[in-house]
Amino acid sequence: MTAIYLDYAATTPIDPRVAERMIECLKPSGAHGNPSSAGHDFGRAARALVEKARAEVANLIGARPETIVWTSGATESNNLALFGAARFAADRGCHIVSAKTEHKAVLDVLKQLEREGFQVTYLKPDSGGIVSLEQVREALRADTVLVSLMHVNNEIGVIQDVGAVGRLCRERGVLLHVDAAQSAGKLPIDVEAMCIDLLSLTAHKIYGPKGVGALYVRRKPTPVGLRPLIYGGGQENGIRSGTLATHQIVGMGAAFAIAAKEREADVARIEALRERLWQGIAALGAVELNGHAQLRVANVLNVAFHGVEGESLQFACRELAMSAGSACSSASEEASYVLRALGRSDQVAQSSLRFSLGKYTTADDIDRAVDIVTREVRRLRALATGDGNQAANG
Amino acid sequence: MLQATAIKLPTADAVAVYAAAVIDHFDRPRNAGRLQPAPDVIEGSAGRRTDGVEFHFTARVAGDVIDAVRVRTFGCPHSVAAASWLSERLVGMTRAQLQQWQWREAAQALEVPTEKRGRLLVLEDAVRALARSWG
């Protein structure tokens, strides 16, 4: 039996329409030219495709195309945003505010910035995984230069009101960086209304290719200052050098264009399937939702299963492709740091599973997943308690 | 030669290799459950759920050997498999054999990796506790 894919928050399959547009670029008659070669048709054709994709990405987040910088993914975008903005602003201040539940691609950058002399305040979210506006307000200091908060948490799917934080930061003259890897294409984003200065994006969470992402960098009224990470040919206005990978960028643009059109319908369908999955699992009893029950995206469901050990739970459910915690967590046996930040014990955190659905998930997938999880959790619980397995002494 | 199945652990890059015997005993655990308390039934436990592993053996003694065993296990696949594997071998054992049983036997038979061997120490503790409850 083929495994059922329920790990869309880790990555998504490429939409065939995206793959088609990418393949066109890779054919002999495609767009092999260097987009920086303005002097001939080959380069200009590739450049035209790149700029079309730039507009497609900008459109999904309410930005103008010239604010989009191409990167290799959200990890690079986070690195560029945080290192770039902090180092640029270092003479004004050295304090940064973020949260304990950010992705490692933010936390590990902040750790490095601390080694370079910056001070970071890591806000602890409430038991639902949300950081309050008051917490941010209290953490801001005269020397705060940057706040970094993710829009949607990758492990538990909860939504942070980054717009409210943006307005506060704008009042206080502090930059706001938002990691939108898990929210673009799932929630509406308007960077100008939300007062966001830097926004990290990736293609592979919304049916685009891996290896390409973007960073929104506010330009008006004054451009956000960034020290580049990668130097070289001066592409992307010197912010990120390197020959642009036309086919990758076209793929990202195509994925974002499709998301703009289909987001609402996809989200409604996925939400209904997620609810079906939750109702099926909740019938087991002694299970708990990890993360705020209402302020969450449609596609992520993180559940703690009491009375079962985590590794056994995951192995028993190996017909389901999913995660315990994040796909990007360290290789240690430590339980999820996100779940521990919510106040979950190590044991409960380790006995949690993240199910993440996507546009190719079917009702049949969900029903089979419920059957598998229900069967295996009951079996493991009975193994531990002996209930239902009492032997008479005859 | 035991065939191995590679399976991705919950935590990302590490890949656990479960021996075929581990998978067999995990999927089809032998002697699961518990015997009703009775004058000829002994029991022994070790471990704590909050530590990630717990074993509870009940066994019926007939004469000077064990003639039936049941085990309850909370723990990882290696723990579940080791308890199941051991439960079959406990049948026919004497008290002295319980007192001498060593965790390395299970480690070898089930190809338990080094980082999981702590669970087998707890299993050995449960066997010793069973021996102590045997008069």
CATH number of this structure's domain B11-132, picked from the four choices 1.10.357.10, 3.40.50.300, 3.40.630.40, 3.90.1010.10? 3.90.1010.10
Return the sign of the alpha-carbon dihedral for residues B17, B23, B25, B27: positive
Q: pTM for the full model?
A: 0.92
Interface mutation target, options B7, B9, B11, chain A, most CBs of A under 10 Å: B11
**In sequence order, what DSSP letters do the residues of A357-377 get, joined into one string?**
--TT--HHHHHHHHHHHHHHH
| Helix/strand/coil for B27 | helix
CA distances from A365 to A13, A94, B93 (A): 16, 49, 47
In this prediction, residue B78 carries a pLDDT of 97
Tell me whether B38 touches chain A (CB under 8 Å): yes
CA-nearest residue to B9 within chain A is A311
Q: Number of helices and strands (H, E) in chain A? A: 11, 13
Listed in sequence order, the residues at least 6 apart from A162 whose beta carbon sits closer than 8 Å to its beta carbon are A149, A151, A176, A178, A194, A196
Q: How far apart are CA B73 and CA B52, in angstroms?
A: 10
**Could you count the other beta carbons within 10 Å of the beta carbon of residue A197?**
23
A383/B68 touch (CB, cutoff 8 Å), yes or no: no
Q: Which residues of A touch B40 (CB under 8 A)?
A: 393
Tell me whether B3 touches chain A (CB under 8 Å): no
Place of tokens 């304090």: A95
A312/B53 touch (CB, cutoff 8 Å), yes or no: no
pLDDT tens, position by position, B25-70: 999 999 999 999 999 999 999 999 989 999 999 999 999 999 999 9
Query: Which residue in A310, A323, A386 is closest to B72 by CB distance?
Result: A386
**Could you count the other beta carbons within 10 Å of the beta carbon of residue B32?**
22
A382/B32 touch (CB, cutoff 8 Å), yes or no: yes
Determine whether A328 is an active site residue: yes
Q: Is the pLDDT of residue B102 over 70?
A: yes
Q: How far apart are CA A338 and CA B55, in angstroms?
A: 30
Query: Which residue in A325, A385, A389 is closest to B10 by CB distance?
Result: A325
Tell me whether B18 touches chain A (CB under 8 Å): yes
pLDDT above 90 as % of chain B = 85
Reported ipTM exceeds the 0.85 cut: yes
Residue A308 gets which letter from DSSP?
A: S
Listed in sequence order, the residues at least 6 apart from B13 whose beta carbon sits closer than 8 Å to its beta carbon are A331
Listed in sequence order, the residues at least 6 apart from A321 whose beta carbon sits closer than 8 Å to its beta carbon are A3, A4, A5, A6, A7
Query: Which residue in A314, A383, A392 is closest to B73 by CB distance?
Result: A383
Cα B1–chain centre separation: 22
Tell me whether B32 touches chain A (CB under 8 Å): yes
Listed in sequence order, the residues at least 6 apart from A96 whose beta carbon sits closer than 8 Å to its beta carbon are A82, A86, A110, A113, A118, A119, A120, A121, A144, A145, A146, A147, A148
In this prediction, residue A335 carries a pLDDT of 77
In this prediction, residue A390 carries a pLDDT of 54
Per residue of chain A (394 residues), give pLDDT as tens: 579 999 999 999 999 999 999 999 999 989 999 999 999 999 999 999 999 999 999 999 999 999 999 999 999 999 999 999 999 999 999 999 999 999 999 999 999 999 999 999 999 999 999 999 999 999 999 999 999 999 999 999 999 999 999 999 999 999 999 999 999 999 999 999 999 999 999 999 999 999 999 999 999 888 999 999 999 999 999 999 999 999 999 999 999 999 999 999 999 999 999 999 999 999 999 999 999 999 999 999 999 999 999 999 999 999 999 987 555 543 345 679 999 999 998 888 989 999 999 999 999 999 999 999 999 999 999 999 987 655 555 4
- Is the Cβ–Cβ distance between A162 and A194 less than 8 Å? yes
In this prediction, residue A115 carries a pLDDT of 98
How much of chain B is helix, strand and coil, in % rounded to 5?
45, 30, 25
For residue A272, what are its two tokens? Answer: 């209904």
Q: How far apart are CA A156 and CA A326, in angstroms?
A: 9
A386/B32 touch (CB, cutoff 8 Å), yes or no: yes
pLDDT tens, position by position, B104-122: 999 999 999 999 999 999 9
CA distances from A309 to A305, A314, B4, B46 (A): 9, 9, 22, 16
